[in-house]
Amino acid sequence: AVEFSKLVGSLKPEEPEDVIVSACQKLILLFQDRPEQKHVFITQHGLLPLMELLEVPATR
């Protein structure tokens, strides 16, 4: 649970791109191992940070 929260916490526009990519890759693996975590991510943590990341221009 701590690892999950830390990964979600890394999904911020001000984080370096490599940190965000690494966190996303780890979250994908976590979701493959524990599909129920997707619901937790969407309902409790991740939707707003994810939307903020989508608004960041590709060139930083």
Number of compact structural domains in the chain: 1
CA distance 53 to 21: 11
Q: Is residue 40 a part of any domain in this protein?
A: yes
Q: Is residue 59 a part of any domain in this protein?
A: no
Q: Is residue 60 a part of any domain in this protein?
A: no
What does the DSSP 8-state code read for residue 7?
A: H
Structure tokens that stand for 43 in this block: 């309902």
Domain of 49 in residue numbering reads as 2-54
pLDDT beyond 70 at 59: no
- Residue pLDDT, tens place only, 1-52: 788 889 988 988 999 999 999 999 999 999 999 999 888 888 877 678 788 8
pLDDT beyond 80 at 56: no
- CA angle 26-28-29, nearest 5°? 65
pTM given for the model: 0.78
